[in-house]
Each structure stands twice: as C-alpha cells, then as structure tokens.
Amino acid sequence: MTKVFQKTKLLTDEVMHYCPGCTHGIVHRLVAEAIDELGVQGKTVGVVPVGCAVFAYKYFNIDTQEAAHGRAPAVATGIKRVHPDNVVFTYQGDGDLASIGTAEIVQAAHRGEKITAIFVNNAIYGMTGGQMAPTTLVGQKTTTSPYGRDKDHCGSPIRMSEMLATIEGSAYIERVALNNNANIMKAKRAIKKAFETQIAKKGFSMIEVLSTCPTNWGKSPVEAMEWLEENMIPYYPLGVKKEV
C-alpha cells in the first residue's frame, strides 16, 4: 500500500499533554510542516514559553530553548545574534506575549530582529486555570473576571498584530484563525511566509493565531470554534497587517 499522508517528522512521537479539542496541536503541526517544507530543520531553533505550550520542546523535533515567562523574544535574540543563519522562532501564548512579555516582543520588532513569533491567542490563561488575559474579550467570564471583563475596570482587549504592524522593524505580520479548514490552510501559508521573511533577512515577523480553549471557556470543541468565529474574529480581524 502506498502511504499518501503521514505525520511530519518535525514532530516527535511524544504524546501531547494538551486538553481534548485544544488547538495547540494544530499550530504545532503547522509550524512543524512549514519548517519541514522549507528544509530548514537542521538550522532551526525554537524558543518555547511559559504557559500551555511549556512542554513544546518535547514535541518539536528540533533544538529548543525554554524561556522564562514572556522572555522568549529576548532569548531568541540571543540565539539569532550568535547564529545569524539559524531560523529562530518563538512560540508564545497571549499571557506570555501580550502581558508579561510586551516589552520583549515590542522591542524585538523595534530592532527588526530577524526572528518569527508564533502568537497563539485564545483570549485566556490556560495553564494556570482560566484567568483573564489582555486579549480576553469585554464581557468574557474568566476565573479572575467572574462577572465578565469590564472595560472600565481593566481596559479593552489588546490587538497585538495591529500594534506591532505600526513598528518600522516589522516585516510581516498576519492574523489567522483555526476555525475551519480553509482558515487552517491560510494559517499554514502565513506561517511559512513568516519563516521565509526571516530567511530573506527582511526583519521581524509574527503570525497571530486565533485559537480556542474549550476547557477554560467551558465549551465543547465545536462550540468553542463557533464562539471564536462569532466573537473573536469580529474584534480581531483576520488578514495581513504588515508586509514589506
């Protein structure tokens, strides 16, 4: 029998720890496939975050470094400056990138650091048990916004892609979503393009991936996809935000 499809070798055989219905597995696969297709496994170094993807070093079949919470862009900078021909990416959640690590991500973009950030935005803190993130929508209930996020109390959700697109050093910024197959394919193309931007040494690149967290949202995986489509996409419009 001819094998027509198999899991990319850029992912290890380690069993993933993610919850059922979590979209991290999809993002991992898209990133791994992009590296595979570009033929850069031997020079890629991943920097993984604190958050749900904290064990991602077990899954990506490449050299990896585990960073402190929010510091992945700084760690990636250190690696890239030592080995400018390596392909270096960070994999970060919304707490990591949009809250505790805002300084590092903004300044990496500001320097035009030739790295790629994969930003998984699911509007909540997953690993710590469903607390409010800077990307949590107004009215959304979390364990630290039990009455729903109140914008007078803690502001409106932050749009990182739009913000980083205003920075001169950003070379490619796109927001994608995982709510259906067509969008997943678009996400794959975007991730690949971001890596290509880095390889061409054009500057900083980031792909924001709108994702779900069925467990902490209190929804089934399917309901979660619907919620993403109806609530997140209108506030976080998809598309290319910056391309040079």
Partner 1 sequence: MAKKLMKGCEAIAEAAIRAGCKFFFGYPITPQNDIPEHMAARLPQIGGCFLQAESEVAAINMVYGAAGAGARVMTSSSSCGISLKMEGITFIAGAELPCVIVNMMRGGPGLGSIQASQGDYFQATKGGGHGDYHMIVLAPASVQEASDIMQRAFDLADIYRTPVMLLADGIIGQMMEPVEFHEQESKRELPEKLWATTGWTPDSCRKRAVVNSLYITNEELDTLNQRLQSRYREIQKNEVTVEEYNTENAEFILCAYGTIARICKSAITLLAGEGVKAGLIRPITLWPFPSDTVKKAAEQESVKALLTVEISSGQMLEDVRLAVNGRKETAFLGRPGSYLPSAEEIAQTVLRMRRMHS
User: Which positions touch partner 1 (CB under 8 A)?
Assistant: 9, 41-45, 47, 54-55, 57, 61-68, 71, 74-83, 86, 103-104, 107, 110-111
Compare residues 78 and 148 and give the one whose CB is closer to partner 1. 78
Smallest distance from partner 1 to CB 76, Å: 6
Smallest distance from partner 1 to CB 218, Å: 26
Compare residues 105 and 209 and give the one whose CB is closer to partner 1. 105
Compare residues 55 and 201 and give the one whose CB is closer to partner 1. 55
Smallest distance from partner 1 to CB 142, Å: 25
Q: The tokens of 94 are what?
A: 């919304």
DSSP code per residue over 40-105: -GGGEEEEE-SSGGGGHHHHBSSEEEEPPTT-HHHHHHHHHHH-TTSEEEEEEEHHIIIIITHHHH
Smallest distance from partner 1 to CB 41, Å: 5
**Gap between the Cα atoms of 170 and 70, Å rounded:** 19
Compare residues 48 and 238 and give the one whose CB is closer to partner 1. 48
Smallest distance from partner 1 to CB 40, Å: 8
User: What are the helix (H) ranges across 133-207?
Assistant: 151-154, 160-165, 181-199
**Gap between the Cα atoms of 31 and 89, Å rounded:** 10
Say if CB 80 and CB 44 are below 8 A apart. Answer: no
Compare residues 10 and 178 and give the one whose CB is closer to partner 1. 10
Smallest distance from partner 1 to CB 234, Å: 33
Non-local (6+) Cβ contacts of 103 within 8 A are none
**Gap between the Cα atoms of 115 and 100, Å rounded:** 19
Strand 116-121, strand 204-210: pairing:
parallel
Compare residues 44 and 212 and give the one whose CB is closer to partner 1. 44
